[in-house]
């Protein structure tokens, strides 16, 4: 059978590659007259490089990475656009059993509360000033890195001074934790479940606690290809949106876990994937905990590419010295995410979507119907410390951020 468009997409074997896998395996891409080929990669650097040289047209990619590419922070890099997010949430912070025991002695609890457990970690650090803890993230330009640093800083822990931060591939983190090479890590699923079930780790908190309703991976598109093939890109967005609806249906959970578990995708037992899909996670020591909105593939405008998300990531790049702030850099960051392309592609599906392209992150304290029809519900969103991010006040937000501990 011949198709109108052929698209090759790169992905890293993680739970949040689900929309691409389902679009291919459940026929949603075929419905849009697309031949979708998926290529598994081990590292985010490989994803970026193969997008740059044209091996991939699109990719499952870290939400901040296209911004970093467009700012010239990483090379080789294509000009990239983000016309769609691939869901909300999905990562967590896992610590060693030894560190968790000491955190519990200082007030940590099994409810994964980011404030309570972050302060417990701070108290542990105050007892071992002569030795830093070591935490791993998946890439310097990742939501993992920025959210982990935000969590530390808001609990008066200074990344780089109090914590050694290093980069490891997600599949290596559990082994590094068990061997004592690191004390903790922030990664996407299934690597927290793997760490708690197979490597003696303990879940300390989750992304859904640190920054509610926030993006993890997005669809990164080579800008040159996207400009030249708008119809193919729109067809892909429609197929991915249909896949997000399918992924969100609890009746499909077991089938989804089985699909993702295949050797060509995540290549791990389906039983290791089901906890994150259900939102009931193994926290360590045989305990389980229900986590609200741990991974959201469709609800709450989960696939909408908010410019406010892009701009928050940009503020963190500035905060941690990766790029200097300027009006030009801010514009580049904000324009990387393309809600205009999303709206145009999905209008024929009758999808309820936000009328605005940005929002104040943290303004919605509860689930809130929006729009005249109330067909779309957003929130709760925002940060565990109660701070707001207004995308219209980027400069003042950058100025207000601290890189030294609160109360230091």
Q: What is the pLDDT of residues 212-236, one digit of tens each?
A: 999 999 999 999 999 999 999 999 9
CA dihedral 285, 286, 291, 296 (to 10 degrees): 110
The topology under which CATH files domain 91-213+285-290 is D-Maltodextrin-Binding Protein; domain 2 (3.40.190)
Backbone angles phi, psi at 83, to 5 degrees: -90, 0
- Collect the ranges in the chain with pLDDT lower than 50: 404-408
- List, in order, residues 6 or more apart from 8 with CB less than 8 Å away: 37, 38, 39, 55, 56, 57, 58
Residue-wise pLDDT for 235-254, tens only, equals 999 999 999 999 999 999 99
Asked whether the beta carbons of 23 and 235 are under 8 A apart, the reply is: no
Token digits for 313? 């990531």
pLDDT score of 373:
62
pLDDT score of 56:
97
Token digits for 330? 């801010």
d(CA 190, CA 174): 11
d(CA 268, CA 363): 38
Strand pairing category for 184-188 and 133-137: parallel
DSSP string, 254-312: HHHHHHHHSTTTT-S-HHHHHHHHHTEEEEETTEEEE-TTSEESSTTTTT---HHHHHH
pLDDT score of 76:
83
∠ CA 148-79-303, rounded to 5° = 55
- List, in order, residues 6 or more apart from 143 with CB less than 8 Å away: 62, 63, 64, 91, 207, 214, 215, 216, 313
């Amino acid at each position: 059978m011949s198709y109108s468009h052929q698209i090759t997409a790169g992905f890293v074997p993680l739970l949040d590659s689900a929309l691409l896998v389902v679009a291919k395996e459940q026929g949603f891409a075929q419905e849009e007259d697309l031949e979708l080929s998926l290529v598994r990669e081990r590292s985010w650097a490989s994803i970026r490089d193969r997008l740059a040289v044209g091996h991939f047209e699109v990719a499952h990619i870290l939400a901040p990475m296209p911004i970093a590419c467009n700012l010239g922070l990483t090379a080789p890099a294509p000009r990239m656009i983000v016309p769609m997010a691939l869901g909300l949430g999905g990562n967590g912070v896992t610590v060693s059993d030894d560190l968790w025991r000491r955190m519990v002695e200082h007030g940590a609890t099994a409810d994964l509360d980011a404030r309570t457990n972050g302060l417990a970690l701070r108290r542990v650090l105050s007892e071992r000033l002569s030795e830093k803890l070591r935490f791993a993230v998946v890439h310097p330009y990742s939501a993992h890195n920025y959210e982990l640093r935000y969590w530390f800083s808001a609990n008066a822990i200074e990344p780089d001074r109090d914590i050694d931060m290093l980069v490891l591939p997600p599949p290596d983190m559990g082994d590094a934790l068990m061997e004592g090479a690191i004390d903790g890590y922030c990664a996407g699923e299934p690597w927290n479940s793997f760490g708690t079930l197979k490597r003696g780790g303990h879940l300390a908190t989750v992304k859904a606690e640190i920054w509610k309703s926030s993006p993890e991976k997005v669809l990164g598109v080579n800008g040159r290809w996207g400009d030249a093939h708008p119809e193919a890109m729109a067809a892909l967005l429609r197929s991915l949106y249909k896949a997000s609806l399918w992924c969100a249906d609890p009746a499909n959970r077991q089938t989804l876990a089985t699909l993702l578990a295949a050797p060509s995708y995540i290549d791990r037992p389906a039983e290791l994937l089901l906890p994150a899909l259900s939102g009931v996670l193994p926290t360590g020591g045989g305990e389980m905990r229900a986590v609200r909105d741990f991974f959201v593939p469709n609800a709450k405008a989960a696939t909408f590419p908010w410019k406010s998300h892009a701009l928050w990531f940009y503020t963190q790049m500035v905060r941690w010295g990766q790029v200097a702030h300027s009006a030009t850099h801010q514009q580049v960051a904000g324009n990387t995410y393309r809600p205009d392309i999303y709206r145009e592609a999905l209008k024929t599906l009758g999808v309820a979507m936000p009328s605005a392209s940005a929002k104040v992150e943290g303004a919605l304290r509860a689930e809130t119907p929006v729009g005249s029809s109330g067909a779309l519900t957003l929130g709760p969103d925002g940060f565990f410390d109660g701070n707001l991010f207004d995308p219209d006040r980027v400069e003042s937000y950058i100025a207000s951020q601290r890189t030294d501990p609160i109360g230091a």
